[in-house]
Structure 1
């Protein structure tokens, strides 16, 4: 049984003497949303264009459900659905007629029943027979997803899919992708919107200057992360005495700031019960303990800054 929905091995793109994408390798697991992160111009769109064969690869291999794009092109491409940049449609036709037009180009038969099925999936039932020129940007994005999944691809590839969407449209789009993965579809999505990718993805890779510099789960749950200091905010009745108690009895816990009734502490997670007990035993009321989680933006900046420092040393 094939383990990965998509495998990219040593993907490279050069134009003249300039290397646009440099030896990039990653895998997308079945049923996951995998994000390609990076600033504009990092090479994300070039990677996606090579995967879907819109441009030639200088080097590297692309496997779709184990099918090599070079040796089994038609079979591999039939497993893919994609939206690269903004989806384009015939604006003088209805959404339904646009989908029927794309259905005729599929390798297998796509029935009107399937068109109705994907229309319902993306929430366009009420507007599907209206002309596309009347659609909002969010509706056109939904129609793009419907078009991309008409032929039941096993992996959906999206390049900056939320560009121009309002917050409601972004949330709906994210919900559609989650539903698709619950049905077994895998998703590769690229974006520079870190806050949105944090809510959307299971794993992510960071691309910078055409190179892959990091791959990680969106959730920090490995053993090494458990040993790292955490930032914790404690709301208490007497922060001054609390700080003195910590300095005397638990000097390994660092007080990084004091603000009103709150102390901000840097400590390992396993130290939380100990300082809480220390405060209670000394008649300090503890109203709230909040764990401040690093955002994807924090992690992105930490990783990219570290990579730049390593390159300059």
Structure 2
């Protein structure tokens, strides 16, 4: 049984003398939502188009569920469902008739029970017999996912799937993807909406100028390691005495912010308990301790700025 839903090995795309995608490699586990992040023009869409065979690769390999795209094209593509651009449907037909139409074009027979199953899965049961022209953008996106899932793929590939959706539509779409992942379907998604990707993905990779510059688990990357400084808010009885105690014991050098009974300091995660212990032992009541979590946007800017500085040296 294949270990990964998708393996991308040394993917490269050159047009003339210009390298658009440069030796990109990553893998996606089964049931994982994996995000491709990067500025416009970084190469994200080119990578996705090569994975789903919309454009040729200059080099590298694409392996889906153990099937190499070069050696078993039909078997590999049957494992992939994709929405690379806004899904297009016959607007004068109902959602159901559109799905019937796509099912008839599939390489293998798709029973009516499967069509009903994907309709239920994407939450369109109450609107599936309405004409597509009456659908909201979010409903059309969900119908697109239903169409991509008809042939029961193991990997769903989505390029900017939440473009144009309102906040409610984005949240619903995210929930559908989590539901799919819980059933073992893997998802590769690209987007420039970093706050949304933070809520959606298990892991992410940053693509910049065609190169893969960073890849990590979402929670680990945002929260940082135990040895990294993080902003922590302490709510205490006496801020002035608390700060002096922490400075005297060498736990902090300065306070980043202070308001009322709260003060914010930069401290390592494994030092927070020690700071609390010192305060309590010195009869300073501690009412609350909370971390100021960095956002994916903070981490993204930190990583991309770091890469730019390194390249300029």
Normalising by the smaller structure, the TM-score range is over 0.9
Quote how far apart the aligned CAs of 1:182 are.
1.2
SS in 2 for 1:220: helix
Measure the CA separation in 2 of the matches of 1:310 and 1:185: 38
Measure the CA separation in 2 of the matches of 1:253 and 1:264: 12
Asked if structure 2 preserves the Cα contact closer than 8 Å seen for 1:4 and 1:28, the reply is yes
Asked if structure 1 preserves the Cα contact closer than 8 Å seen for 2:227 and 2:270, the reply is no
SS in 1 for 2:70: coil
Q: Return 30-39 or 291-300, whichever deviates more.
A: 291-300
Q: Return 244-253 or 148-157, whichever deviates more.
A: 244-253
CA displacement, residues 77-136 of structure 1 (integer Å, 9 cap, x when unaligned):
000000002111011111011101110111211112111111111111111111111110
Quote how far apart the aligned CAs of 1:277 are.
2.3
Matches within 5 A, 1:31-110: 31-110=31-110
* 1:142 corresponding residue in structure 2: 142
* 1:160 corresponding residue in structure 2: 160
* 2:199 corresponding residue in structure 1: 199
Measure the CA separation in 1 of the matches of 2:264 and 2:155: 44
Matches within 5 A, 1:236-275: 236-252=236-252, 254-275=254-275
Asked if structure 2 preserves the Cα contact closer than 8 Å seen for 1:4 and 1:66, the reply is yes
Quote how far apart the aligned CAs of 1:70 are.
1.1
Cα RMSD, aligned residues only: 1.7
* 1:227 corresponding residue in structure 2: 227
Q: Return 248-257 or 53-62, whichever deviates more.
A: 248-257
Measure the CA separation in 1 of the matches of 2:192 and 2:32: 19
Quote how far apart the aligned CAs of 1:253 are.
5.6
Measure the CA separation in 1 of the matches of 2:93 and 2:221: 49
* 1:184 corresponding residue in structure 2: 184
TM-score by length of 1: 0.96
Quote how far apart the aligned CAs of 1:287 are.
1.4
Aligned residues: 313
2:205 matched to 1:213?
no
Q: Which runs of 5+ in 1 are unaligned?
A: none
Asked if structure 1 preserves the Cα contact closer than 8 Å seen for 2:204 and 2:215, the reply is yes
Measure the CA separation in 2 of the matches of 1:141 and 1:221: 30
Quote how far apart the aligned CAs of 1:266 are.
1.3
Measure the CA separation in 2 of the matches of 1:24 and 1:305: 20
Moved over 6 A (4+): none
Quote how far apart the aligned CAs of 1:199 are.
0.5
* 2:120 corresponding residue in structure 1: 120
SS in 2 for 1:246: helix
Quote how far apart the aligned CAs of 1:254 are.
4.2
TM-score by length of 2: 0.96
